[in-house]
Structure 1
């Protein structure tokens, strides 16, 4: 009985399509990370797939689902395995990463993005006759526990995401 309940709780925190944490699961796990961070700096990366509706309109929901899976897989494979990856909305993702000494260098903090771009370029999605998968992203270092985890993330979400992946 306990095993089934634990499994149900774990499944309830996951997005069924991408197997990333869903919004509720991401916020709950992020709260735990903040609580155990002991003042350690954390970096939040926010991603928004560009023109996702158009991708769905052109290729149908099957292509849209494939794009979401490819993007989520790229986040999981190109960020550190201890980082939290969540799908916050339809085409919005966030990664919460513990900062290490190497990541204090702004170039090193962008390294996962470069790896993500290569992953997407090498994905089966890029080989199809599908429109290019493009995204905007932003990054913010969080030095303290925000009153609400969502308040902290709203800062990342609303900051100007001018960095766009070129097709």
Structure 2
């Protein structure tokens, strides 16, 4: 828009006649680009959702949640069922005779208990080493006179560009 006098004699920030004819009545009505407003005058995200679409979205979300939660519930239910009920077949959602036999046989000893203790040791040791190393790195980076400080900081920040799943 210009402030000069146009063909139609309009001055200031008013659109010229050629612009009105080029974009049509939508521009003249104050809607640039010819976009229509909805009947309520609200943007689409502020309007009340249609009941059918709301029900459809709810159904889709329920199906997604069900497909994610059902296997977890099934494994937990089978873990509390007796061996006879599991080998009999069928779907087990609620154990008929709940028992802790499966957990007792796993934790009696052997390779599972050893693996559990190894996992606990690795987790605690790794956490301790991580805390010590990051504390030392943070102290070194916080001092302004340390040689190579900017380079090391750039290396640390570079690793933040990649997510853990990518590496």
**Same topology, TM > 0.5:** no
- TM-score, normalised by the number of residues in structure 1: 0.18
User: Of the two, which has the highest radius of gyration?
Assistant: 2
- What is the TM-score with the length of structure 2 in the denominator? 0.18
Instruction: Give 1 or 2: higher strand fraction.
Output: 1
